[in-house]
Each structure stands twice: as structure tokens, then as C-alpha cells.
Amino acid sequence: MPSYVTDANLTSYELAFCGAMAGVFSRVVIAPLDVVKIRMQLQTHRTHFKFRAAENSDIQYSNIRQALKRIVREEGIRGLYKGNMPAEYLYLSYSAVEFWAYKELEQKVEAIDVNHKVPHTVKTFGSGMIAGCIATAATYPFDLLRTRFAVNKGPQMYNTSVTQAMVDIYHREGPRGFYRGIWPAMIQIMPYMGLLFSSYDVFAKSFKKLRDDNVLSKGYKPTHDMLSGAMSGFFSKMAVYPFDLVRKRLQMEGSYRAESNQSWLSCLMSIMKREGVRSLYKGLAPSLLKVAPANAVTFMVFEETKDLLILFKEVK
């Protein structure tokens, strides 16, 4: 049985187009929170499990509101959208590859499991997990550029085009420089995308059943898709957040640090030792505030684009 995402009569490439549209729209919504999250993640002060944080003059971004105000004051409104162009490329290409791969994987799994012995949730989890890995590997350089542009506050780094920034990274760090932090990204993305697709399938199908039973109005389907995306994104992000922070730290190493070859595990241990275990969750608040609307918009736009394509095909 196909999942809620792929139950329409659309090809993998048509779903890739739907995913690309969803990625572009979701990025526009969450860009400022993404910049705040990255700035918080890259602060190296020690944190503790306390209800009230100690005063620390080294903390530039202490909470979401203060960070937003400081960035606007020091860098203007455009500061909230630093790294937006590589991020748009990232979201467009990532979502396109992800939904294409998910459809292809689901079809292959269904063809192998002809007797339907594998639980449906396991299929959606596995397909989402592998699709996320494929999309991450294919688009990772854009993720690295997004991080470096978002952190840049001076004229010395990337105030040029995306192409020039890529040339600069290649000359200074070599081809491997485009993939700094990819291992924690892979470790993070496997459970995250698996949980995201499997939980979205559960939530979305539950809403669909309530609509089919006339408990909920069919006119609110976009809202139901948004709620399903928001809830699945929220819980999935909570589970894998420390790996996201390690990934951001490793992405910045080649930019301004000498020790640019540490592994993701040594980076993780170093953060816990120098900054405390709670530091693995720096930037969690803006990340959660970002992931809910991002996934809500992503899946809503995806489903609406999918319905529109189906309508066009029926008219033909």
C-alpha cells in the first residue's frame, strides 16, 4: 500500500517537481530563524542545565528575540537573509531529490514485498531514511555554503556570488572542503527523515480517515496537511538535534580554524567537555520554531502542487 505522499497517480519526476516547489516556499518562510539558529549553534560559551542563565559577556545571541533585534541593528534586514541564495538552491534541489528518491524507493520496496509481510510504517521509515541520505549527499555543498554565508558578518569572507564562494573554498580547502561535517549530517538525517516521513504518513492518513468519515470538512485538507507536517517535523527534530549542531561546527572549521580535520565524534566530545552537555542543544528553540512552519509549508505546498498536477492530467 503506497504512503500518503505517493498515493497520487504521479511519476517520480512529477513528485520531484512538487518537492522543488515546496522547498522554495518553505525556505522563504523560515530564513530569519535559520540564520538565528546557526548563529546560536556556533557560539562556544559553556552552558548549564539551569532555569536562569548566568551572565556571560561572550554570549552574542542569548534568545530568539534578542538575536533577531541584534542582527537587524548591526546588519540590517538583509542580515536575516544571509545565505538565502545557496539555501534556496539547497531547499529546491534537496526537496526535489528527496521526494523523487522516496517514490522510487517505495516502488522498489513494494515490488519486493509482494506478500506485504513488512509493516507499512517500517517501509515508510526506511524509504524516508534512504531518500534523506541520497538528497543530503547530492546537495551538501549548498548546505555548507548556507552556513558560511549565514555566519559571515564582515567583508573578508563571502560577500560575493555563490559561484565565487565555491571557487574560493575549492582553492583554499580542496574538494573535501565542500563536505565538511557530512558524517554527522548523514547520522542525523537517517533517523530524522525516517521519523519525518513515517510520522507524517500516520498523521496525514489519520486526518484523511476523519475527512472520509465526514468528521472533518474536506475543505480543510490544506490545514490538515500543514498540521501533519508541523507535528512530524517537531518530534523528528528533537530526536536528532545534537548531530545538527556538530555538523554546523564542522562546516565552519575550514573557514576560520586551524584544526580542520577532526572527526564528528571528537567534535561532539569536545563540545560536551568544553561547553557542557546542554550546549549540544544551542539554538534548539529557533530550530523548533523553524521546523514546524517549514515542514507545515513544505507538505502543504507539496500536496497542493500534487493535486494541481493531477487536475491538469485529468483535464488532458
Lowest model confidence (mean pLDDT) among 92-106, 257-271, 290-304: 257-271
Asked if residue 3 is part of any domain, the answer here is no
Q: Determine, yes or no, domain membership for 228.
A: yes
Q: What is the mean pLDDT of residues 111-117?
A: 88
233: nearest Cα among 89, 149, 128, 92: 128
Domain assignment present for 204: yes
Answer yes or no: is 30 within a domain. yes
Among the residue ranges 83-92, 100-109, 147-156, the one predicted with the least confidence is 147-156
Of 20 and 158, the structure prediction assigns the larger pLDDT to 20
Domain that holds residue 152: 12-49+61-315
Residues 6+ positions from 240 with CB-CB distance below 8 Å: 188, 189, 191, 192
Specify the pLDDT at position 264. Answer: 77
- Decide: 197 and 102 in contact? Cβ < 8 Å: yes
Does residue 1 form part of some domain?
no
| Domain harbouring 238, CATH code | 1.50.40.10
Out of 6-20, 105-119, 278-292, 297-311, pick the least confident: 278-292
151 within a domain of the structure (yes/no): yes
The more confidently predicted of residues 258 and 9 is 9
Is pLDDT larger for residue 256 or for residue 46?
A: 46
Q: Is pLDDT at 22 greater than 90 in this prediction?
A: yes
Task: Please state the rounded mean pLDDT for residues 87-107.
Answer: 91
Q: What is the pTM of this model?
A: 0.75
CA dist 165 and 160 (Å) reads 7
On whether residue 163 sits in a domain, the answer given is: yes
Classify residue 192: in a domain, yes or no: yes
| Per-residue confidence (pLDDT) for residue 258, from 0 to 100 | 42
Is the pLDDT confidence value at 253 over 50?
yes
**Chain segment 212-237, per-residue pLDDT in tens:** 999 999 999 999 999 999 999 998 98
Higher pLDDT, 175 or 87: 175
3-class SS of residue 133: helix
- Return mean pLDDT, the chain: 84
SS3 for 124-172 is HHHHHHHHHHHHHHHHHHHHHHHHHHHHCCCCCCCCCCHHHHHHHHHHH
Q: For the segment 165-211, what is each residue's pLDDT rounded down to a tens digit?
A: 888 888 888 888 888 888 878 888 899 999 999 999 999 999 999 99
Name the more confident of 135 and 32. 135
Q: What is the pLDDT of residue 316?
A: 65
Residue 214: per-residue pLDDT: 92
Which pLDDT score is estimated for 156? 45
How many domains would you assign to the chain? 1
Q: What are residue 42's phi and psi, to 5 degrees?
A: -90, 5
- Tell me the H-state helices in 213-283: 221-256, 264-275
